[in-house]
Chains A and B, each alone.
Chain A
Amino acid sequence: MLGNWHQLWVIASNPDNVPVVALIVLVPFFTWFGLRQAKANDRLIEKLEKDPELARTHHRKTQPYHASWQKEVHVWPYLLRIELLAAIVVTVILLVWALTINAPLEELANATITMNPAKAPWYFLGLQEMLEYFDPWIAGVLMPTFIILGLMAIPFIDENPLGNGYYTYKQRRFAIWTFIAGFEGMWLVLTLIGTFIRGPGFMWFWPTQTWDPDRIEFLTTRNLDQIFGINGKWLAHILPASQQPYAELWAKGLFGIIPVGLYFIFAAWMFYKIITSTPFSRRIFSRMSLLQVVVMELLLVVMLALPITFFMRNLLRIKYVWETPWFNL
């Protein structure tokens, strides 16, 4: 079927989506740019590890070096001219951008006419996408708090002293994979989904599929307890009479603890296995305090819950695994 390529172009060329399109280019470029330098440093590290004699004398950088060169240069003019150049380049980019694309202005705000789709600005689309999978207080309040505090916690739980002030991959495999998974694999992917895939009613439209506001989406998701047929019938027999009307709630609430608990145990165990999988990572692990391990495990397990929920909802069509009167997971 020939897709609606025109619509894809309309979305991509929407003025407010230009940054998202730019990110599609910029983030892979800078990932490559950083990892290329990491690779060069890794080769140097490998060489120096093999040759302790060389390690004593080498200046330990991949940048060119000559003994007669001064180690430091004056900020005026060597740094300031670069800053001036950067400012000019940015100004030119801004001017060209501002002359060619106009900032969007819709109709006057009107509470009686709902925008469809009503989308957050592009940098918050990741959060809006999370709202599809979790209760509002989890997606809108708990998760952002976890992201902010989790980012702030990074320096205090990363006990690896290597790779401080230079690009490296081999000395910080786990840290780099975790960050790229979080930043690119989750945050940016959710932003892209929010931009290109979520159409009217925030429904899922594949790229080039026409955004049909009249499309009807049938509810095809079930909760995990429905799959297992949990209805509280047998639980009613052992509950006190006063609680019997609530037997189904009790059964579902108690049942949900099992998959969530299993997930926490299994995911924590899996991360433990990963961070102790090599002799080097075991050395890092042995440096960590109990508090550091607990906080790191908690953050990792919560982080992994996002893609798992995503795949359960979109591939397995499972909505919640734990239903309670107060929250759903």
Chain B
Amino acid sequence: MAEENRAKGEVGLAGEDDGRIHDLKDWVQVKFHEQVEELKRPEDTQLYKAFFRVGRIDEPRNRALHTLNNLFLHIHPTKVNRDAVRYSYTWGMGGISFYLFLVLFFTGVMLMFYYHPSEIQAYRDILDIQNSVPFGLQLRNIHRWAAHLMIIAVWLHMFRVFLTGSYKRPRQFNWCIGVMLLVFTMLLSFTGYLLPDDQLGFWAVTVGTNMARATPLIGHEGPFGPQLGMTAYNDVRFALLGGSIVGSNALLRAYIWHCIALPAMISVFFGVHFWRVRKDGGISGPSPVMLESEMHE
């Protein structure tokens, strides 16, 4: 029976009729070949389809669905202008900024496992991260340099968007969101500067927050501050530091701003920024040049 089946080229069920296995050796052999054939096309397996929702056969519809049906990729359109993927136009700086943010998020969470935001512990934790934690030094280095690189990337992104006039109608509002992201990026970096609780961070934050004393109306050395009852113990600098000096409370506040409040805020602005890029018609170009003679008054 089994011989006949195979001769006819039928797949499977060798040594098997009425649901029972008669010839175990044949059965295993056939099933094994079947399995090997299946694994050669992983895209047809249940597992693959459950994972990706779309078959892998390379046809336009599936290419589109790959982007559309994926949570992480759906911020992209399914198709873009063929010239828009050129590096020369975008410089890739917006995407690189976001990638660096992800790197910072990941390394930042890792660092948080080893760090206590208290004056007694913070500096020792940094020494510990550098000297005892496996790859801790590299972890801290990556976090630090990614932060610097992100600021450079954001500045250059802004420069590119300006040079290509991409802030013009209908993208004015998204430019403003971008300015906010620039400010948040620099504030994130600045709040992180204090966290090692070393001389560098301490004096940089001292210099930085001393400016807050001079804020008009809400700083005790600013114009009209004293007239409104501002002192060193109730003005905006006091609110930022949680005290009148850069001390334990300032460390805790910088930590909360750096690890929770600012990342949460910047994430919301990221969402709006990306969403508006799509709603405003995708990336701005390279679009066909417009001529002065075509300009309406």
Contacts and interface: CB of A to CB of B under 8 A. Distances in A.
Interface in A57-90: 59-61, 63, 69-80, 82-83, 86-87, 90
A191 to B, nearest CB: 10
B91 interface: yes
Contact of B163 (A23, A27, A154, A176): A176
Contacts of B221: 136-137
A42 B79 CA distance: 28
Given A97-B145, A109-B202, A155 B175 contact: yes
Nearest to B218: A141
A135 B214 contact: yes
Interface string B119-130: 000010011001
Given A60-B288, A113-B199, A152 B176 contact: yes
Contacts of A45: 289, 291-292
A237 to B, nearest CB: 31
Given A79-B76, A109-B198, A86 B164 contact: no
A167 B163 contact: yes
Contacts of B138: 95, 98-99
Contact of A75 (B67, B211, B213, B284): B67
B286 A141 contact: no
A327 to B, nearest CB: 7
A93 B219 CA distance: 43
Given A103-B144, A108-B197, A115-B200, A141 B103 contact: no
Contacts of A283: 295, 297
A132 interface: no
Contacts of B293: 49, 52
Nearest to A176: B163
A71 B85 CA distance: 12
A165 B284 contact: yes
Given A121-B189, A155-B175, A41 B214 contact: no
A298 interface: no
Interface centre among A72, A115, A164, A287, by most chain B C-beta atoms within 10 angstroms, is A164
Interface stretch (A123-131, A246-254, A257-265, A299-307): A123-131
Contacts of A86: 92, 95-96, 99
Interface in A13-70: 16, 18-19, 22-23, 26-27, 30-31, 33-35, 37-38, 41, 44-45, 48-49, 52, 55, 59-61, 63, 69-70
Nearest to B66: A76
Contact of A34 (B126, B159, B223): B159
B161 to A, nearest CB: 10
A137 B222 CA distance: 6
15 contacts: A30-B159, A74-B79, A82-B85, A82-B92, A87-B99, A108-B198, A109-B246, A111-B246, A119-B207, A141-B214, A156-B172, A160-B168, A161-B290, A164-B165, A283-B297
Nearest 3 A/B pairs, CB to CB:
A140-B211, A165-B285, A60-B288
Given A124-B186, A171-B292, 17 more contacts: A18-B148, A30-B156, A45-B292, A72-B80, A75-B67, A86-B96, A103-B141, A122-B148, A136-B222, A137-B221, A139-B211, A142-B216, A151-B179, A163-B290, A166-B285, A179-B163, A183-B159
